[in-house]
Structure 1
């Protein structure tokens, strides 16, 4: 599972979850925009940035990194890239770095070179398996922790989160977006299962509340068409792409509708990493 992509989708669609995770007031989200920054000439991008929306502020900007695999070079890469970004953009805010680990065992501190850095209050390390009661009291943290739940627990936890979402969120758009995220996490946690099998885990009713399924179903009803699996998968992928990039060019739509079910499932996973319509175009050139 591409955990970094899933986390960035969570922070993009439900940014309050990040501030719950770091113990800040959920109202802090009103002062931030979740975005990314590319370092020119060096061809790398920092994807997880919470930037204050106003320039005249003492609020910090947050760099968020998700690390779910042991990597002895992680802190070498993180700090070198981060300070290059500071040099290039010189943001008018103080900084904070937040690193999210599945567990403490994954971390490779490299204390010889970074022990002093990691002791700074500006750098926070969060271990999802140590969240304890916080994961039960906060909807946002619960969704984040769902990423590391075992397959045995994931479905029941997801069902409880869906009910919590319906009960706690009054904004219909935010509610549906969060249910959609919960669905995506479950889909990626069961890579060998079909959508039909995953729907069956939820007795169909919960997943059918997501925006993707509602819109695809409504489209089919309006046209009086009973969608086949390939057509249904194509419509779902197109809905996701349209929500992300706006109207997709007719040539690309035609190319997507010509993909097999297997190719559409691959595209549904890959699109989480797309930054522009050009990424989609390149993916189709390679995979068709």
Structure 2
């Protein structure tokens, strides 16, 4: 959700991101990852933007990623194969603070080969820069600010001054989603006008995704409850350890357990089934 929101911002406000990452507001258009590969390519948290001279490749990450250096080198070669004449800027943007060594890696290196890329840790960036561009406003809350609550209020003031309703709603919704990484929902809703956020495309997509996830969670919990009741009838009380293992099963695994438990006669049957079927 957070990575998708950042991708939406980079696509919608590409000139603001170009000014920030390239140093000038170069007009950029989205480049489909499918143009770069003969095989499937990971595309859920990245954005590729192209101009006549440049390709800007941005990866948004909420968590450290040990595979990032390899992936950046891989993309660079794919882009060179397709656009050998274009310059390329590659940036990994980490959204949330981390002490992991991975967020400091800026190169992929194997014997005879070295590829470098840029890393931006948002929590180290000065806040003022992000308050000066509409497309960067939602990221301001994640920067090096001594008072996140006050920064959100400043962002809200600037959002209210945006003249275009559609842009205003998209920026407000994106801000609300990203602010959720660090602030409480009630405070976010108090500072940002919910009626404006609800008009945004990104808000509607997020709401639909949230509801779908909630529905899946409800189904999973219902299946867990049913399985545990059936197990209690078949083999007696289920130990806390066994309950924990059952709660870690996927929906497909729970359905398989629901069929298998009809043949259970004692607790060891459950223990043996979990050993055989549970994946770590």
Instruction: Assess if the C-alpha contact under 8 Å between 1:13 and 1:177 holds in 2.
Output: no
Instruction: Assess if the C-alpha contact under 8 Å between 1:166 and 1:175 holds in 2.
Output: yes
Instruction: Assess if the C-alpha contact under 8 Å between 1:98 and 1:124 holds in 2.
Output: yes
Q: Deviations over 1:181-211 (max 9, x none)?
A: 1122234656xx7xxxx35653387122224
Instruction: Assess if the C-alpha contact under 8 Å between 1:139 and 1:161 holds in 2.
Output: no
Pairing partner for 1:95 from 88, 95, 104: 88
Q: Which structure has more RCO (C-alpha within 8 Å, separation ≥ 6)? A: 1
Taking structure 1 as the reference length, what is the TM-score of the superposition?
0.56
* Rounded Cα–Cα distance in structure 1 between residues aligned with 2:22 and 2:87: 18
Are the structure 2 counterparts of residues 12 and 113 from structure 1 closer, same or farther at C-alpha, using a change threshold of 3 Å?
Answer: same
Q: Is residue 206 of structure 1 aligned with residue 158 of structure 2?
A: no
Instruction: Assess if the C-alpha contact under 8 Å between 1:48 and 1:63 holds in 2.
Output: yes
Bigger Rg, which one: 2
Q: Measure how far apart 1:51 and its partner are.
A: 1.4
Q: Is residue 161 of structure 1 aligned with residue 155 of structure 2?
A: yes
* Rounded Cα–Cα distance in structure 2 between residues aligned with 1:49 and 1:79: 14
Q: Any residues of structure 2 matched to 1:1-288 within 5 Å, and which? A: 2-22=1-21, 24-26=23-25, 28=26, 31-38=27-34, 39-46=36-43, 47-52=46-51, 57=52, 59-87=53-81, 89-90=82-83, 93-102=86-95, 105=99, 106-109=103-106, 112-113=109-110, 117-118=115-116, 123-132=117-126, 133-147=128-142, 153-167=147-161, 169-187=162-180, 189=182, 198=185, 201-203=188-190, 206-212=193-199, 239-240=204-205, 262-263=214-215
Instruction: Assess if the C-alpha contact under 8 Å between 2:31 and 2:49 holds in 1.
Output: yes
Q: Measure how far apart 1:149 and its partner are.
A: 7.4
User: The residue matched to 2:30 in structure 1 has which SS?
Assistant: strand
* Rounded Cα–Cα distance in structure 1 between residues aligned with 2:157 and 2:19: 19
| C-alpha RMSD of matched pairs (Å) | 4.1
Gaps of 5+ in 1: 216-235, 242-255, 267-288
Are the structure 2 counterparts of residues 262 and 166 from structure 1 closer, same or farther at C-alpha, using a change threshold of 3 Å?
Answer: same
User: The residue matched to 2:32 in structure 1 has which SS?
Assistant: strand
Query: How many pairs were matched up?
Result: 208
* Rounded Cα–Cα distance in structure 1 between residues aligned with 2:217 and 2:175: 18
Q: 2:268 aligns to what?
A: none
Are the structure 2 counterparts of residues 20 and 84 from structure 1 closer, same or farther at C-alpha, using a change threshold of 3 Å?
Answer: closer
Taking structure 2 as the reference length, what is the TM-score of the superposition?
0.57
* Rounded Cα–Cα distance in structure 1 between residues aligned with 2:14 and 2:131: 18
